[in-house]
Structure 1
Amino acid sequence: MRRNEDQKRDEAGRPDRRTVLADAAIGVLADLGVRGLTHRAVDAAAGLPVGTTSAYLRTRQALLTALVRRLVELDQGELHAMGERMPVRSATELVHGIGELVRRRLAGDGRRRSLARYACAVESVRDPELREILVPRDNAGRAAVRAFLAEQGVPDPDRRTATLLACVDGLVFDHLVSGGEPGADEIEGLVAAALRGASASQEPYGPR
């Protein structure tokens, strides 16, 4: 299994063992589903001796909690970096940024994280601790969207931002299940809905 570039490291520069295990668990969950998430499977995926995972994360609940915390950490890092790298100054830029995020979450490691994330979301329905960890958090990406919608005079930009990002999440899920990537018209439709009622006048998507 490919080691994640965002893994934490100890004082000797080695990847933090709990982070290694959490990353391996994400891969196991994505590949094998909830029933396949076992301590032994995580040991194998991480390339570590049998019993390593249970030594660090003794129960299944501890393993699942570590996995979810790592997922949130990776997602937050991704959204923060995108928000800092791509300021939102127009609807066209917002469409572009959402498109990049969706493509990231439908391919490669991003796809595996998405599969694991939705599996954890289902588990959280019956697990208040997981549900609390998965509550959407603020980050530079969310803040950039909210600031742009506020500048456009959108009513209740906080709620509109939350709705837009929930719709983006649903778009990822839909294409994760059905395959393929969303067309530009799907993303433009979400942005148009988010801008509905804006007081500022502008071309919806600017020059193509």
Structure 2
Amino acid sequence: MPTDRRTLLADAAIDVLAATGIRGLTHRAVDRAANLPPGTTSAYYRTRQALLTALVRRLVALDQAELQAIGERTSVPHSVEELTTAIAAFIELRLTGEGRRRSLARYACALESVHHPELREILVARENAGRQVVRDFLAAQGVMDADDRTVTLLTCVDGLVFDRLVAGGTVSDREIHGLVAAALRQPAPGEGTRAP
């Protein structure tokens, strides 16, 4: 548990947002979730926008730390099956426990960022060791545009997480395997080129 009051409040705000949605994110709700006296949150974050910005910054910091740790303890996979297993473990992390709570908050913030571009700037995808593992795998398999394919693959994984959070259920290895296979597929001659 964080000892810094601002971090404690941002963590409580993530909990509130995940549990109640964007409309439930109030200073009072965060005070209650943090088990602090009324008015504490507003003393640190005067406006709702300041609270939301702090929440998003904390969310990104937690996500980046998690992805960095995953990448640092994961060697570059040697096969589609190894990458599929690694992605499945990541998805499971995002759909259960604390990962689920943060995923729900992240998607709520992503939707809110449509109306608040300053949040979008904070939420933009960043480099981390986890992303690098995927990029290195694709490059090792001879994929010429490994950077673009990495972004596409991870965006699709994100879409699966979102779908399962909303609709329920799990993600099958078959689905993940299909995404990885698509990322590895080389274009046919002339495919992807535009006519003059």
TM-score under structure 1 normalisation? 0.87
Asked if 1:100 corresponds to 2:86, the answer is: no
Within 5 Å, which residues of 2 pair with 1:27-42?
27-42=15-30
Which structure's residues are more often helix, by fraction?
Answer: 2
1:185 matched residue in structure 2: 174
Q: Residue type matched to 2:147 in 1?
A: D
State the shift of 1:183 in Å: 0.9
- SS of aligned partner of 1:138: coil
Q: Residue type matched to 1:195 in 2?
A: L
| Cα deviation 1:18-48 (Å, max 9, x = unaligned) | 1100000000000011000000000000000
Of 143-152 and 32-41, the range deviating more from structure 2: 143-152
| Cα deviation 1:110-152 (Å, max 9, x = unaligned) | 1111110000000001111100000000000001111111111
Q: Residue type matched to 2:173 in 1?
A: A
2:137 matched residue in structure 1: 148
Asked if 1:72 corresponds to 2:57, the answer is: no
Q: Residue type matched to 1:137 in 2?
A: R
Aligned partner (choices 54, 58, 74) of residue 86 of structure 1: 74
1:157 matched residue in structure 2: 146
Aligned partner (choices 21, 38, 48) of residue 50 of structure 1: 38
Structure 1 unaligned spans of 5+: 8-14, 199-208
Identical-pair percentage: 69
State the shift of 1:88 in Å: 2.0
| Cα deviation 1:169-193 (Å, max 9, x = unaligned) | 0000011111121111011111111
Asked if 1:176 corresponds to 2:154, the answer is: no
Give the Cα–Cα distance (whole angstroms) in 1 for the partners of residues 6 and 120 of structure 2: 21
1:205 matched residue in structure 2: none
Aligned partner (choices 51, 76, 79) of residue 63 of structure 1: 51
Residues paired across the two proteins, number = 186
State the shift of 1:94 in Å: 1.0
State the shift of 1:96 in Å: 1.1
Give the Cα–Cα distance (whole angstroms) in 1 for the partners of residues 165 and 77 of structure 2: 29
1:113 matched residue in structure 2: 102
Regions of 4+ moved over 3 Å: none
1:167 matched residue in structure 2: 156
Give the Cα–Cα distance (whole angstroms) in 2 for the partners of residues 196 and 78 of structure 1: 29
| Cα deviation 1:67-126 (Å, max 9, x = unaligned) | 000110111111111111111222222111110110011011111111100000000011
Of 89-98 and 156-165, the range deviating more from structure 2: 89-98
Structure 2 unaligned spans of 5+: 188-196
1:25 matched residue in structure 2: 13
